[in-house]
Amino acid sequence: MNRIAGFLEKSRQNQPVYMVDVGRDLCRGALFHVFLRLFDGSDMSFPLLLPEWETREEEDFVRRYVLASVYNVISVWGGRGLTVYTDMRDPVLSRLALSLPEEFGRDVPRARRTGYGRCLNVTERVLSALDLPGRFTFDAKDASAAPVVPKYPERNGRFRFSPDCVSGRTALGIDVGGTDIKLAAAVNGSLALLGEYDWNPAAITGAEEFLLHITGLVRLMRAGVSLIAAGKGDGVICSAFERGASPGDVTAAADEMERRADTLLNFDAIGVSFPDVVINDLIVGGETSKTAGIRAAAGDYEAEFAKITGLARTLERFTVPGGRVRCINDGSMAAFTAACESAAEGNDLSRGLIAHSLGTDLGSGWIREDGAVANIPLEIYNFIIDLGTGAGATFPAYDVRSTRNRTTGLAGSLQKYASQSGVFRWAAERLPAQAPEIWDEAVKKGFFRWEGNSLTVPTRPEDMRKGCLEFIMSRAGESEAAADIFRCLGGSLAAAWAETNLVLRTPCDDRTLFGRLVKDPVCFRLIREGAQTVLPGIRLIAADDELAVTPMMRQLRDSGRSVAQFAQAVGAVYYGCAR
């Protein structure tokens, strides 16, 4: 049996076939060389070595490997266009190279693009945000015409940050997530108020309603901080700042507290961590599940999403004259936050830093070697890491057993592996047979529900996602089947690490992890165990209490709140104030 046949057999047995294993063990033959033109006009080179194949099924496997590789590159870097250099005399290779425009929907309107083409939607919105003319292009040429491989640019400099940037300022940090929004307000360098608000953005059908949730919370925080700064902290309606508060509760509390305050204290700076592609403070992605309800309901999605694009400008009315609002992707905020604490501890960041927030999806951020936050899409959660796990690809995307991305429909996407969706998927796969008592309890509690032929974690009338995740996490220390769920997540994270290193070419060796999935030491230990089975020596760092080095982060730790969950909100305060 050749290696391709072996991988196909693994898939039929419902096992993962990680991209990193395919590239390492299989590809030693024909060259399929991808040159990507970046937003800044420079080029990057991504050589793919393809194996020989014997059957039509094996040829299709190679085709899927190539398409996934190209898709991953565009998902991270975006860019202006790419050129493939390969042996155009080979009918299969030439056909594959020439098929890329069609496979990626190059000439299809954005609203009708599916699958691989969804990454072009993001890229084209970035091109518009950067005022770059034209659309993404594809070209194919013979390998004999390939230019000299461009050298990866050396970046000099280092990450610079001073926690004193918050001194003398009133600032707000907002961490927008897929199941909740966390907020932190600071006055003169001290944390004054923390808030947590449950929501389900995917169920929202209009941009105005989407924005109203966020602006309502900013009103609430402003009113609370104004009372505290005036020495009227006993007038803060604490229940409005806790999980479970409704939009009506927030509005009523903000109204009442504004009446109690003598004057409203606007913010000098607001930092926003947002779960989408952000370029120059503009939200430009538009291809995440968070706006799925808006996409389904909108007659003109582009016009509707454009209202969300300028969230930073929308929030400027809550700032003082000359104040500013800075918005950044949630993964980038995780990386910035980790870098701030690491720099404050005196660590060397000359190799850069990569961080992930493990939550509803997987956020990813990269602080480059020169200290800059990479101004690229960096949609690692959309990565295709698995060409196997056959059964999971047969279910619709919103079935918890599915490996299909909820936005693109592509199977093997990281979104269904290293996130709460991965936990739900492996629970549905393993618990019924291996730990039926736990599965029966989960079903009885309403965490899993059959809707026709699809298995779901309900979001209506009550959103059960957080409760379901916490239930499974609580069983990890007492059930081997539950423990294996988190080992599987760790293995997938390691596979994503390897694929990320190939695409980003960063010398960074570590990954710092944020979020609910790493706050529990048992679950984090299991995640690390699973990662070691795929990449021995991999180093994962939990953003836990040990992360707390700067004054505000130490205050967060001492408040009793989870550093792993609230760190990005505090980091957003620093980001809003940083020079």
pLDDT computed for residue 384 by the predictor: 94
Q: What is the mean pLDDT of the chain?
A: 92
My answer on whether 332 and 384 are in the same domain is: no
Which residue is it, tokens 């991305």?
405
Q: What pLDDT, on the 0 to 100 scale, is given for residue 577?
A: 96
Same domain, 114 and 253: no
The answer to whether position 323 is within a domain reads yes
Over range 197-201, report the average pLDDT. 94
The number of distinct structural domains making up the chain is 3
pLDDT in tens, 331-354: 999 999 999 999 999 988 888 999
Identify which has the larger pLDDT, 324 or 152.
Answer: 324
- Strand pairing partners for 365? 355
pLDDT digits (tens, 9 = 90+) for 354-408: 998 888 888 899 998 888 888 899 998 888 999 987 788 899 999 999 999 988 9
Same domain, 361 and 341: no
- Degrees, nearest 5: CA angle 319-321-324: 50
Is 154 within the bounds of a domain?
Answer: no
Q: How far apart are CA 309 and CA 278, in angstroms?
A: 9
Predicted local confidence at residue 73, as pLDDT: 96
Highest mean pLDDT among 131-135, 266-270, 290-294, 511-515: 266-270
Block residue for tokens 């599915």:
402
What would the DSSP string read from start to end of 428-459? HHHHHHH-HHHHHHHHHTTSSEEETTEEE---
Q: For residue 157, tell me if it sits in a domain.
A: no
Supply the CATH number for residue 447's domain: 3.30.420.40
Q: Is pTM beyond 0.85 here?
A: yes
Beta strand 137-142 pairing with 170-176: unpaired
Do both 339 and 373 map to the same domain?
no
Do residues 125 and 256 share a domain?
no
pLDDT for the residue 148: 86
Contact 183, 195 (CB under 8 A): yes
The closest of 50, 53, 112 to 86, measured between CA atoms, is 50
Report whether pLDDT(564) > 90.
Answer: no
Tell me the residue range of the domain where 256 lies: 163-345+549-577
- Let me know if residue 512 belongs to a domain: yes
The C-alpha atoms of residue 576 and residue 579 are separated, in whole angstroms, by 9
Residue keyed to tokens 């994503």 = 496
The string of pLDDT tens digits covering residues 493-528 is 998 888 888 898 888 878 899 888 888 999 999 999
Question: Could you tell me the pLDDT band of residue 298, with boundaries at 50, 70 and 90?
Answer: confident
How far is it, in rounded angstroms, from Cα 560 to Cα 562? Answer: 7
Neighbours of 70 (CB within 10 A): 23
Contact 413, 382 (CB under 8 A): yes
Distance of CA 415 to the CA centre of its chain: 8
Task: Show the 3-state SS of 75-87.
Answer: HHHCCCEEEEEEC
Residue 30: pLDDT above 90? no
Residue 152 included in any domain: no
pLDDT at 427 exceeding the cut of 80: yes
Same domain, 426 and 499: yes
129-133, 323-327, 552-556: least confident range: 129-133
Q: Is residue 77 part of a domain?
A: yes
Q: 313, 311, 236, 271: which is closest to 552 by C-alpha?
A: 271
> 568 and 440: one domain?
no
On the question of pLDDT at 156 being above 80, the answer is: no
Greater model confidence, 506 or 531: 531
Residue 156 lies in a domain: no
**151 occurs within a structural domain:** no
| Strand 454-456, strand 449-451: pairing | antiparallel
User: In this predicted structure, what is the pLDDT of residue 28?
Assistant: 63
100-104, 120-124, 319-323, 508-512: least confidently modelled range: 508-512
Q: Are 352 and 367 in contact (CB under 8 A)?
A: yes
Query: What is the maximum alpha-carbon separation in the chain?
Result: 79
Query: Does 187 lie in the same domain as 173?
Result: yes
Residues 284, 266, single domain; the answer is yes
Q: Same domain for 103 and 174?
A: no
Structure tokens at 167: 């001194």
Residues 233 and 304 in one domain: yes
68 Cα distance to chain centroid: 18
Model confidence at 1: pLDDT above 60? no
Q: Which of 145, 178, 195 is the last residue of a domain?
A: 145
Q: Measuring CA to CA, which residue among 504, 363, 405, 412 is closest to residue 68?
A: 412
Residues 447 and 533 occupy one common structural domain? yes
User: How many percent of the chain have pLDDT more than 90?
Assistant: 71
Q: Which of 251-255, 400-404, 540-544 has the lowest mean pLDDT?
A: 540-544
Q: What pLDDT score does 545 carry? A: 87
Say which amino acid occupies 105.
G
Q: What does the pLDDT average to over 560-577?
A: 93
As given in the structure block, the two tokens for residue 135 are 């659309």
Q: Report which of residues 499 and 224 the model is more confident about.
A: 224
The pLDDT value recorded for residue 518 is 86
| Residue-level pLDDT at 34 | 95
Q: What is the CA radius of gyration of the chain?
A: 24
Question: Looking at the predicted structure, is the pLDDT value of residue 80 above 90?
Answer: yes
Q: Which residues contact 334 (CB under 8 A, 6 or more apart)?
A: 273, 355, 356, 357, 363, 365, 512, 514, 543, 567, 568, 571
| C-alpha dist (Å) from residue 539 to 69, 346, 358, 564 | 25, 19, 16, 17
Q: What's the 3-state SS for 145-168?
A: HCCCCCCCCCCCCCCCCCHHHHCC
Q: How confident is the model at residue 53 (pLDDT cuts 50, 70, 90)?
A: confident
The backbone torsions φ and ψ at residue 327, rounded to the nearest 5 degrees and listed phi first, read -120, 140
